Amino acid sequence: MALPAFAARALRPPLQPELGAPARTTCPRRHSRVEAELAASLPGSVAASVRAGPPRGVSLGFNSPPLQDEPPKAFSSLAGALCAPLFALLPRGRRRRMHDLRRRWDLGSLCRALLTRGLAAVGHSLKHVLSAIFSKIFGPLASVGNMDEKSNKLLLALVMLFLFAVIVLQYVCPGTECQLLRLQAFSSPVPDPYRSEDESSSRFVPRYNFSRSDLLRKVDFDIKGDDLIVFLHIQKTGGTTFGRHLVRNIQLEQPCECRVGQKKCTCHRPGKRETWLFSRFSTGWSCGLHADWTELTSCVPSVVDGKRDARLRPSRWRIFQILDATSKDRWGSSNFNSGANSPSSTKTRSASKSGKNFHYITILRDPVSRYLSEWRHVQRGATWKASLHVCDGRPPTSEELPSCYTGDDWSGCPLKEFMDCPYNLANNRQVRMLSDLTLVGCYNLSVMPEKQRNKVLLESAKSNLKHMAFFGLTEFQRKTQYLFEKTFNMNFISPFTQYNTTRASSVEINEEIQKRIEGLNFLDMELYSYAKDLFLQRYQFMRQKEHQDARRKRQEQRKFLKGRFLQTHFLSQSQGQNQSPGQNLSQSPNPNPNQNLTQNVSQNLTQSAKPNLIQKANRGKQKQGSGQEQSDSTSNGTKDYIGSVETWR
Neighbour tally for 122: CB within 10 Å:
12
Give the end-to-end CA distance of the chain in Å, rounded to a whole number. Answer: 93
Which of 233, 245, 290, 389 is catalytic? The answer is 290
**83 touches 74 (CB < 8 A):** yes
d(C-alpha 139, C-alpha 124), whole Å? 21
**115 touches 87 (CB < 8 A):** no
Neighbour tally for 291: CB within 10 Å:
25
492: helix, strand or coil: strand
CA distances from 502 to 55, 295, 376, 416, 506 (A): 72, 30, 11, 21, 7
547 is catalytic: no
d(C-alpha 346, C-alpha 436), whole Å? 9
d(C-alpha 204, C-alpha 536), whole Å? 8
**460 touches 518 (CB < 8 A):** no
How many CA within 13 A on the CB side of residue 618? Answer: 11
H helix or E strand, kind and range, residue 622: helix 611-624
Neighbour tally for 558: CB within 10 Å:
10
In terms of DSSP bridges, do strands 357-364 and 470-473 run parallel, antiparallel, or are they unpaired? parallel
Residue at 180: amino acid letter? L
CA distances from 319 to 228, 283, 442 (A): 20, 14, 17
| DSSP β-bridge partners for residue 471 | 362
Q: Is the sign of the CA dihedral 416, 418, 423, 427 positive or negative?
A: negative
- DSSP code per residue over 139-187: -S-HHHHT--HHHHHHHHHHHHHHHHHHHHHHHH--SHHHHHHHHHHH-
Residue at 304: amino acid letter? V
d(C-alpha 279, C-alpha 264), whole Å? 9
**Radius of gyration (Cα) for the chain, nearest Å?**
45
d(C-alpha 482, C-alpha 547), whole Å? 14
In sequence order, which residues have a C-beta less than 8 Å from that of residue 129 and are 6 or more positions away?
Answer: none
- Greatest C-alpha distance within the chain: 145
**438 touches 391 (CB < 8 A):** yes
In this structure, the dihedral spanned by the alpha carbons of residues 224, 227, 232 and 233, taken in order and rounded to 10 degrees, is 0
Residue 425: left if φ>0, alpha if ψ -120 to 50, beta else—which one?
Answer: alpha
Catalytic sites, residue numbers: 290
